[in-house]
Structure 1
Amino acid sequence: MAGRHRRAPVSHEGRRPRRAKASSVEEIANQGPVIFVCTGNIARSAFAEHQAARLMNAPENFSSLGTAAALGRGMHPAMSSFLSPEPRHEARQATAKRLREASLILGMAQHHVDWIREEVPDLTGRTLLFSRCVKVLELEAPQGPLTPEGIAHYVTAIPLLPVYLRDIKDPIKGGYEEFSSCAIEIDRGLRTILPWLSIP
């Protein structure tokens, strides 16, 4: 975990929030999974789900969905090649019912976040842009591990300048370099987020 705290580049609106309190592992016992969302659920979100499950050794705590899922398809071979062994995966469509099972939703791009907030407005507080979550935790580390819901509240409370908010680019129409860059970016982001995530 981070050894020192750095000030986040806050916007000119509002004050910096108080630090969130650490949460116990028991607090997440009855919470749902962290759900990653992209478009087709065969590249970005699928990779994030399976890599997070591997890093935390907790597949039951992570899932993924697509806003326009390639239903039933496995992970794109170019994306799954960065996971060993290659996982079994089946693309699933994001629905209100499935999304409401989540304790935290991380969209790979801003239009995924916007889609979720428009389709299921009551999940706005649980839905974050993946890069926003990464950047806040890089620049303003909490005092200790938080539940997924706690991370959502913590990250949302800290305003960031727009320059720090970026999408994870869709590699589907690209070649090896695009898929490799995508996998590296998601992996680095997960290694920032997961140490602060309290799961049973």
Structure 2
Amino acid sequence: MVRVLAVCTGNVCRSPYLQVVLGSALEQAAPGGFEVTSTGTGALAGAPADPGTRVELERRGLSAHGIRARQMAAAELEASDLVLTAERSHVEQVLELSPRMLKRTFTLPEFAALLEQLSTSGPVESLRPGAAPRRTEQRWRRLPEVLSARRARLGEPAPEIADPYRRGQEAFRSMAAEIDDFVRRIVGWERSMRAEPGGGGFTQP
């Protein structure tokens, strides 16, 4: 199973939303292949997802029931195959806690942009297509290193996902729409890799 960790600040707005939406979408694309959890760099430990996040999830037929904010820990980072953050400052905090996570940590927008770029550059030998559970796991464990080597090709820094905390429901709606778009790109790539032959093309479901 591929372990993905979503990171924001308080772990009540952006990262729980990403946890639920990405987890649900990957489960549909690759049943049983992924585990998506979330944490915070300055977590409101024990708090449930913010009401604004819960409203946006409910609009999509999803729920944050049972999710409670947790403080980021080195052991959890290092047990993750991929860490996706809301902001570049979160990447810096991840690396302060665990420098060995350099090649496995990206902002969510950066990761989606690198995947899209990868999809237009042709197949990568180490990222073999296929839907078998073992093939999926191998592909995603190699993927962060492949994308990390391409960071310089992005040019301008990828955008960040603004924190909607205490900014009203419109801010949560904007956050949710941004994350939904990045999730579609990520899951579209995985679906294309599962549809042999010709894996590596970029599609949006």
The TM-score, its normalising length taken from structure 1, stands at 0.77
Q: What is the CA distance between 1:174 and its match in structure 2? A: 1.1
In the alignment, the residues of structure 2 paired with residue 177 and residue 160 of structure 1 have an alpha-carbon distance, to the nearest angstrom, of: 34
1:97-145 deviations in Å (ceiling 9; x for gaps):
1111100001110000000111111111111121111112223316365
Q: State whether structure 2 residue 15 is matched by structure 1 residue 37.
A: no
1:27-71 deviations in Å (ceiling 9; x for gaps):
xx4xx5100100011111110000112112258610111001111
In the alignment, the residues of structure 2 paired with residue 51 and residue 85 of structure 1 have an alpha-carbon distance, to the nearest angstrom, of: 8
1:149 corresponds, among 141, 144, 153, to 141
- Cα RMSD, aligned residues only: 2.1
Q: Give the aligned partner of residue 126 of structure 1.
A: 104
1:47 corresponds, among 8, 17, 20, to 17
Query: Unaligned 5+ residue runs, structure 1?
Result: 1-28
In the alignment, the residues of structure 2 paired with residue 39 and residue 71 of structure 1 have an alpha-carbon distance, to the nearest angstrom, of: 11
CA contact (8 A) 1:79 1:179 kept: yes
CA contact (8 A) 1:135 1:164 kept: no
| 1:35-184 correspondence runs (5 A) | 35-57=5-27, 61-83=35-57, 84-88=61-65, 89-141=67-119, 143=123, 147-158=139-150, 159-184=152-177
Q: Which runs of 4+ in 1 moved over 6 A?
A: none
CA contact (8 A) 2:20 2:62 kept: no
Q: State whether structure 2 residue 166 is matched by structure 1 residue 186.
A: no
Report how many aligned residue pairs link the two structures: 169
In the alignment, the residues of structure 1 paired with residue 36 and residue 55 of structure 2 have an alpha-carbon distance, to the nearest angstrom, of: 20
Q: Give the aligned partner of residue 189 of structure 2.
A: 196
* Larger mean Cα displacement after TM superposition, 58-67 or 68-77: 58-67
Higher helix fraction: Structure 1 or Structure 2? Answer: 2
CA contact (8 A) 1:43 1:75 kept: yes
In the alignment, the residues of structure 1 paired with residue 37 and residue 116 of structure 2 have an alpha-carbon distance, to the nearest angstrom, of: 23
Query: Unaligned 5+ residue runs, structure 2?
Result: 130-135, 195-205
CA contact (8 A) 1:38 1:108 kept: yes
1:77-115 deviations in Å (ceiling 9; x for gaps):
111111124221111111001111100001110000000
Q: What is the CA distance between 1:162 and its match in structure 2? A: 4.6
